[in-house]
Amino acid sequence: MMTSASACGKIILFGEHAVVYGRPALAAPLTLLRARARVEPRAQSGILIHARELGRVYELSAATPDDALARLTRLTLDALNASANLSIEIESDIPMASGFGSGAAISTALARALAAFFDKSLTPLEISELVYETEKLYHGTPSGIDNTVIAFEQPIRFTRRPPPARNEIAPFLIARPFTLMIANTGIASPTKITVGDVRRGWQMDPATYEKLFDAIGEIVAQASSALARGENARLGELMTRNQLALSALGVSSREIEKLLDAGLRAGAQGGKLSGGGRGGNVIFMIDPRDAENIKRALLDAGAASVMVTEVGAKH
Which of 199-226 are b and which e, b meaning 16 or more Cβ less than 10 Å from the residue's Cβ? bebbeeeeeebeebbebbbebbbbbbeb
Show which of 139, 171, 203 is a domain's final residue. Answer: 171
**Domain identity same for 223 and 163:** no
**Domain identity same for 153 and 226:** no
The pLDDT assigned to 315 comes to 53
Q: How many domains does the chain have?
A: 2
Query: Quick check: 139 pLDDT over 80?
Result: no
| Number of residues in the chain | 315
Q: For the whole prediction, is pTM greater than 0.85? A: no
Q: Which CATH number characterizes residue 40's domain?
A: 3.30.230.10
**Domain identity same for 222 and 186:** yes
Q: Which CATH number characterizes residue 214's domain?
A: 3.30.70.890
Say what the alpha-carbon torsion angle 14, 18, 22, 23 is, to the nearest 10 degrees.
Answer: -40
**Domain identity same for 183 and 90:** no
Q: CB atoms < 10 A from the CB of 74, how many?
A: 15
- What distance in Å separates the CA atoms of residue 133 and residue 107, rounded to the nearest whole number? 10
- What distance in Å separates the CA atoms of residue 264 and residue 183, rounded to the nearest whole number? 12
- What distance in Å separates the CA atoms of residue 27 and residue 158, rounded to the nearest whole number? 8
- Residues contacting 159, CB < 8 A, separation 6+: 19, 22, 23, 24, 25, 167, 168
Average pLDDT over residues 76-84: 97
**Domain identity same for 48 and 156:** yes
Q: Which of 78, 93, 146, 287 is catalytic?
A: 146
Q: What backbone phi and psi angles, to 5 degrees, belong to 192?
A: -60, -40
Show which of 151, 171, 191 is a domain's final residue. Answer: 171
Which of 233-247 are b and which e, b meaning 16 or more Cβ less than 10 Å from the residue's Cβ? ebbbebbbbbbebbb
**Inter-residue contact 13 to 223 (CB < 8 Å):** yes
Amino acid at 160: R
The pLDDT assigned to 169 comes to 85
**Domain identity same for 163 and 188:** no
Parent domain of 30: 3-171
Q: Name the band, by pLDDT with cuts 50, 70 and 90, for residue 299.
A: very high
**Domain identity same for 50 and 147:** yes
Cis peptide before 164 (omega within 30 of 0): yes
pLDDT in tens, 85-99: 999 999 998 887 777
**Domain identity same for 51 and 134:** yes
The pLDDT assigned to 287 comes to 97
**Domain identity same for 193 and 167:** no
284: closest CA among 256, 300, 257, 260?
Answer: 260
pLDDT in tens, 246-271: 999 999 999 999 999 999 999 999 99
- Of 26-35, 172-181, 212-221, 233-242, minimum mean pLDDT range: 26-35
The distance in angstroms from the start CA to the end CA of the chain is 29
Query: Quick check: 49 pLDDT over 90?
Result: yes
The pLDDT assigned to 143 comes to 74
**Domain identity same for 37 and 164:** yes
Cβ contacts of 119-125, under 8 Å, gap ≥ 24:
120/80, 120/82, 122/76, 122/79, 122/80, 124/151, 124/152, 124/153, 125/151, 125/169
| Percent over 70 (pLDDT), the chain | 99
Show which of 117, 142, 171 is a domain's final residue. Answer: 171
Q: Name the band, by pLDDT with cuts 50, 70 and 90, for residue 314.
A: low
**Domain identity same for 161 and 187:** no
Query: Quick check: 198 pLDDT over 80?
Result: yes
**Domain identity same for 150 and 28:** yes
Mean pLDDT of the chain: 93
Query: Quick check: 138 pLDDT over 80?
Result: no
Active site residue 78: no
| Percent over 90 (pLDDT), the chain | 79
Q: What is the helix (H) or strand (E) element at residue 235, kind and residue range?
A: helix 235-248
The pLDDT assigned to 167 comes to 85
pLDDT in tens, 140-197: 777 788 898 999 998 999 998 888 888 898 989 999 999 999 999 999 877 789 999 9
Q: Name the band, by pLDDT with cuts 50, 70 and 90, for residue 113.
A: very high
